């Protein structure tokens, strides 16, 4: 009798996808604030100056090695409530404490204060990001569903980022200072984090079926770095984060001192940039399901570079020209992140089929490490470049034409070069939708056999207990 054809993986409902995507709200909001607002806040208001760049760089050197360790622990975690849920729940209180200490920092706080609490903050962010990405990969197993769920995460995360950019504008309209606007952002983050994480933990299922896996060894993790597809992902992830991160670190300086916008108008443009992720993330995911993920990634990185050129060449203080360019750039930046996260999950399936065990936690830990390294280099290198061109970031400082020109070139050239390198990383990439579909069919068949074996063992054990009685 012929075997019944295996059913395709069930499609996640839109409500399920959006509920889970809430986990990205606090991470995305805080990540945007740390990239754009926090360096400026500590350099100008707290009084640390250009030393902030060195502190961010040093923190990443300390913080990056923690992610592979967390990935190892997550891959080995087995609890009654799941593998990744406990880690996300643990990350919330760590993050809330760090947010309070960072955003309520006293004026004149020493560099050691920023060093300590920035490290704690990044630790909490690692819990959320690693657990969220790995959990998403298990929720959506197919090539197309992954683009959908990671697109939703990036798109919904844009709402959180928009909020932290709008808050300082609202505070300013009520005659509050820039510092009070950033402090209000901190309170918003402290309220949003426990609410969203509790919603995800309570309402999102985590697959608990027995998978066909072998014993994980530390040597297996070192072997990941020898795999060409893993290196592609890490290389692309580093540069696609470094480009926008470089831009973010210089953003307020560039748009106020070079483009002639007020701080409020510059924040308004940034709101447009982030809000575009609501459209760009699902749009690039849609494109990927029609032309493949690596081509969609190349489209997003090339288009992003073109928009930076448009912004650089536009007239000063022209909101009408800058706004649409920022919208397109923001949409494409969000789409690039969606593609990297989705491709990483596909590579994780390829590894599990070949090696026989789950390594998705460590794989996302490696990409988290490259993302963190890129973010650190973005702040450290841009502030170093500012020192080379003798740009003064202090409040009410006056910079001459040479310093402004150096700021403009740094803001524009760096991100273009970096994101184009990221796009080129996937030239010759072979893991297509068809190849991934075959990988999933083999994994599902193997997991089904493992599940049947577990049922047989359970039934045999129960029979033995009855016989003993």
DSSP state letter for 209: S
Q: What region, left, alpha or beta, does residue 297 occupy, with left being phi > 0 and alpha being psi -120 to 50 degrees?
A: alpha
- Measure the CA–CA gap between 158 and 327, rounded to whole angstroms: 12
In a domain, 3, yes or no: no
The pLDDT of residue 100 is 96
The pLDDT of residue 136 is 84
The pLDDT of residue 469 is 52
- Measure the CA–CA gap between 238 and 374, rounded to whole angstroms: 5
Give whichever of 62-76, 134-148, 159-173 has the largest mean pLDDT: 159-173
The string of pLDDT tens digits covering residues 170-196 is 898 888 888 899 999 999 999 999 999
Q: Please give the residue range of the domain that contains residue 68.
A: 20-205+224-456
In a domain, 314, yes or no: yes
The pLDDT of residue 7 is 41
Look at the chain and report how many structural domains it folds into. Answer: 1
In a domain, 465, yes or no: no
In a domain, 214, yes or no: no
In a domain, 91, yes or no: yes
Please check the confidence at residue 328 and state whether its pLDDT lies above 90: yes
In a domain, 66, yes or no: yes
Please check the confidence at residue 15 and state whether its pLDDT lies above 70: yes
Q: What region, left, alpha or beta, does residue 396 occupy, with left being phi > 0 and alpha being psi -120 to 50 degrees?
A: left
Token pair listed for 175:
């005659």
Q: Of the candidates 230, 228, 244, which has an alpha carbon nearest to the alpha carbon of residue 337? A: 244
Mean of pLDDT values over 10-38: 83
Token pair listed for 164:
């932290």
Please check the confidence at residue 156 and state whether its pLDDT lies above 90: no
Backbone angles phi, psi at 394, to 5 degrees: -65, 155
- Percent of the chain at pLDDT > 70 equals 89
Q: How far is CA 172 from the centre of its chain?
A: 29
- Measure the CA–CA gap between 349 and 354, rounded to whole angstroms: 9
Let me know how many helices (H) and strands (E) the chain has, helices first: 18, 0
Please check the confidence at residue 166 and state whether its pLDDT lies above 60: yes
The pLDDT of residue 98 is 95
Q: Of 173-182, 368-377, 385-394, which range is least confident?
A: 368-377
The string of pLDDT tens digits covering residues 121-153 is 988 988 888 888 888 878 876 767 777 787 788
In a domain, 286, yes or no: yes
- 430: buried, middle or exposed (CB in 10 Å: 19+, 13-18, 0-12)? exposed
- Percent of the chain at pLDDT > 90 equals 23
Mean of pLDDT values over 402-410: 89
Residues 6+ apart with CB under 8 A from 359: 75, 216, 220, 221, 224, 348, 351, 352
The pLDDT of residue 455 is 52
Q: Of 108-122, 228-242, 258-272, which range is least confident?
A: 258-272
For residue 163, what is the domain's CATH number?
1.20.1250.20
In a domain, 213, yes or no: no
């Amino acid at each position: 009798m012929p075997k019944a054809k295996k059913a395709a993986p069930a499609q996640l409902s839109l409500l399920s996808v959006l509920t889970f995507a809430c986990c990205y709200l606090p991470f995305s909001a805080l990540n945007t604030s740390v990239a754009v607002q926090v360096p400026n806040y500590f350099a100008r208001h707290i009084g640390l100056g250009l030393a902030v760049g060195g502190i961010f760089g040093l923190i990443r050197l300390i913080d990056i090695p923690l992610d592979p360790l967390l990935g190892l622990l997550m891959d080995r975690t087995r609890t009654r409530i799941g593998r990744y849920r406990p880690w996300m729940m643990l990350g919330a209180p760590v993050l809330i404490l760090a947010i309070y200490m960072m955003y309520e920092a006293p004026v004149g706080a020493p560099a050691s204060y920023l060093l300590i609490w920035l490290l704690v903050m990044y630790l909490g962010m690692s819990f959320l990001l690693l657990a969220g990405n790995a959990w998403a990969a298990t929720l959506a197993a197919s090539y197309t569903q992954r683009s959908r769920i990671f697109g939703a995460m990036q798109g919904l995360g844009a709402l959180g980022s928009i909020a932290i950019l709008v808050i300082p504008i609202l505070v300013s309209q009520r005659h509050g200072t820039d510092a009070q606007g950033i402090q209000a952002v901190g309170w918003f983050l402290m309220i949003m984090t426990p609410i969203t994480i509790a919603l995800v933990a309570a309402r999102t299922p985590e697959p608990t079926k027995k998978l066909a896996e072998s014993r994980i060894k530390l040597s297996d993790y070192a072997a990941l770095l020898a795999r060409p597809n893993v290196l592609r992902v890490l290389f692309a992830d580093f540069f696609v984060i470094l480009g926008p991160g470089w831009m973010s670190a210089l953003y307020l300086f560039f748009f106020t001192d070079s483009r002639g916008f007020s701080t409020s108008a510059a924040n308004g443009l940034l709101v447009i940039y982030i809000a575009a992720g609501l459209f760009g993330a699902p749009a690039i995911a849609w494109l990927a399901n029609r032309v493949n993920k690596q081509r969609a990634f190349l489209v997003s990185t090339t288009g992003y570079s073109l928009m930076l050129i448009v912004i650089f060449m536009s007239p000063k203080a022209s909101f009408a020209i800058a706004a649409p360019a920022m919208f397109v750039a923001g949409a494409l930046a969000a789409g690039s992140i969606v593609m990297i996260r989705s491709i990483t999950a596909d590579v994780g399936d390829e590894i599990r089929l070949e090696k026989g065990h789950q390594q998705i936690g460590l794989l996302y830990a490696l990409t988290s490490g490259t993302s963190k390294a890129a973010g650190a280099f973005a702040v450290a290198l841009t502030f170093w470049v500012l020192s080379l061109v003798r740009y003064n970031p202090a409040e009410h400082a006056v910079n001459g034409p040479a310093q402004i020109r150096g700021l403009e070139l740094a803001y524009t050239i760096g991100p273009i070069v970096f994101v184009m390198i990221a796009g080129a990383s996937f030239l010759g990439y072979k893991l297509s939708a068809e190849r991934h579909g075959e990988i999933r069919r083999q994994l599902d068949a193997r997991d089904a056999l493992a599940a049947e074996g577990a049922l047989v063992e359970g039934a045999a054990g129960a029979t033995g207990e009855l016989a003993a009685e």
